[in-house]
Structure 1
C-alpha cells in the first residue's frame, strides 16, 4: 500500500502546481476594472488601490484609464492616505486637463489637504488648529478657491465655499494667536502688526474683534492715543456688547500683561 500511495501523492502535488493562480488566463481590461470596483464597493480600499495601479500599468491608454485614475483618487482618500490622494489628484489634473470631472479632482485634492494635518484625536474631540502649522490648510484653501472660481456651478462648490470660510477663520485665529504671543512677551510692535494684518486681510472673521482690542492696548502702550481711540471706536461700533469692553466702553483684556510682566516674560522665555 505505501508503494501505491506515494505515486498518488505525487500526482496530487503536480495537479496542484498545474492549478497555480499565476497560470490562469490574464484578465481583460474590463474584467480587471470590474474587480477593482467590487473591491471599492466592499470597502476593501487597499486591495482596490493595488488593482487600480496594476490596471494602469497594463492598460495605460485603455478605455478605463481615466475612470480608474479617478477611482484611485477616491480609494486613496478613503484609505486615509492623504499625501497619496494629493499626488493622485495632481497626476490626474496634469494628464487630463480638459476632463469634464476636473472639478472632482480639485475637490478631492482640497479635501486631502484639508485633512492632511488632522490626527486621531482631532477626529475625536474639537481641536483648534490655529496654533499649528497651517501650510496644508492654505493649500486646501487654494484648491477650493480654484474650484469655485473655475466651476461655480459644480455640485462640490457649496461644500468648498463652506470649507473656505472655516479655513479663513482658522488662519485669522492663527494670526491672533501670534499677536497674543508677542504681546505677552512685550513685543508690542510685532503684536500690533499681527493684529492689523487680521483686521486688514481677514475681515468678517470672529478674530477681528479681539484684534481690534489688541490694537487699542498696543497703541496705548506705545503712547499713541489717537490711533488707540480710533481702534476702540471701531470696536465699540461693530461690537457694542463685546466682552473686551467694560461698562464704560474701555478696552479690557484680561490676559494683557502690564509693562513689568511683559519684560519679565520676555527675559524668562515665559517661564515666569
Structure 2
C-alpha cells in the first residue's frame, strides 16, 4: 500500500516523481544527461549501416547456398522492409517466403507468400507465391489417423493455383498433387467409415462412404466405398440399396476385387446386383463417366 504525506499542498509521491519527470523531459528535449543511469542501456540508439539493397540481397543468396536459411530470411526480410517499394523489396519478400520454405518454417512461408500476393497480385511471380502456399500446406499433411485440416488447406491452395494460373509452370504439378490430396482426404473418410462399420453403427458408416463416393469418385477409395455401402445397407436391412451399390460398383469397376466381394455377399443371400438408375449412387457415377440411362 502506497502511503503519501502532504508537503506544501502536494503529496509526497508527487514530489518524489517530479525529478524523474524532469529527467524524462530533458531526455525528450534532446539532452544526453542521465545521472541515474536507468536508461543508458535500454534506450541506447542502434546505428544501422546504410547497406545497398543489391548487396543485402546477394548476401541472402549466399546464405541460401550455405543452407543457412534462418540467416537468409533475416537478410531478405531486411531488404523487403527497408526497400519495400522497390524491385529489390519485391524480390526479397518472395525470397523470404522461399527461404522459410526451404528451412521448413512452413507457416512463416505461407504468411510471407500471402503478403507477397497482397502487395503484388499482378506480379509475374504471383503463381510461384501461390505455389509456395500450396506446398507449405502440402508438406504438412499428416497420416490418415490424424486431423486433416492441412490436407483441406493444401487442396484449396492447389485448386486456387490451377484456377488462377492455369498456364503457369506449376499447374501440372499442382494437378498431380490435387489428386494425391483428394486421395488422402478420401482415406480419412474411409478410416472413419470402417470404424463405424466395425461397431455396427451403420447409418454413420453409410454417411462416410457416401461422402467418398460423392466427393472423391476418382480416388482409389471409391471401389471400396461402394463395397462397404453394400455391406452396410445389407446389415441395416435395406437389400435394394445394397443391390444398387453393388451394381454401380460392377458397372464402373467390373474387374475390381471389391466387386467380387459385393457380388458374393448378395449371392450368398440369393440376390443379384441391380442398379436403380435414379439413385444417388447411379447419378453420381453417370455424371463422372458420361454413361446415360439409354446406353445401359
- TM-score normalized by structure 1? 0.76
Check if 1:183 corresponds to 2:183: no
Aligned to 1:140: 154
Query: Could you say which structure has the greater relative contact order, defined with CA pairs below 8 angstroms and 6 or more residues apart?
Result: 1
Q: Count how many residue pairs are aligned between Structure 1 and Structure 2.
A: 221
User: Could you tell me which of 4, 28, 33 is aligned with 2:52?
Assistant: 28
TM-superposition CA deviations, 1:172-227 (whole Å, max 9, x none): 11111111011111110010111111111111211111111111111111211111
- For residue 245 of structure 1, report the CA deviation from its aligned partner: 4.5
Q: Equivalents in 1 of 2:194, 2:139: separation in Å?
A: 26
Is the contact between residue 76 and residue 84 of structure 1 (CA under 8 Å) also seen in structure 2? yes
Aligned to 1:222: 236
Counterparts of 1:75-224 in structure 2 under 5 Å?
Answer: 75-117=99-141, 129-224=143-238
Is the contact between residue 216 and residue 222 of structure 2 (CA under 8 Å) also seen in structure 1? yes
- For residue 24 of structure 1, report the CA deviation from its aligned partner: 9.6
TM-superposition CA deviations, 1:40-65 (whole Å, max 9, x none): 23322111111112223322223301
Q: Equivalents in 1 of 2:180, 2:55: separation in Å?
A: 43
User: Could you tell me which of 61, 74, 79 is aligned with 2:85?
Assistant: 61
Q: Equivalents in 2 of 1:143, 1:73: separation in Å?
A: 16
Q: Equivalents in 1 of 2:218, 2:265: separation in Å?
A: 20
Richer in helix (by share): 1
Q: Equivalents in 2 of 1:75, 1:214: separation in Å?
A: 46
Cα 1:233/1:24, change in 2 over 3 Å: closer
- For residue 248 of structure 1, report the CA deviation from its aligned partner: 9.1
Unmatched 5+ residue regions in structure 2? 1-45, 267-296
Q: Highest CA radius of gyration, 1 or 2?
A: 2
- For residue 23 of structure 1, report the CA deviation from its aligned partner: 8.0
Is the contact between residue 46 and residue 75 of structure 1 (CA under 8 Å) also seen in structure 2? yes
- TM-score normalized by structure 2? 0.70
- For residue 246 of structure 1, report the CA deviation from its aligned partner: 4.6
- Aligned Cα root-mean-square deviation (Å): 2.1
- For residue 133 of structure 1, report the CA deviation from its aligned partner: 1.2
Check if 1:37 corresponds to 2:61: yes
Cα 1:96/1:245, change in 2 over 3 Å: closer
Q: Equivalents in 2 of 1:48, 1:247: separation in Å?
A: 57
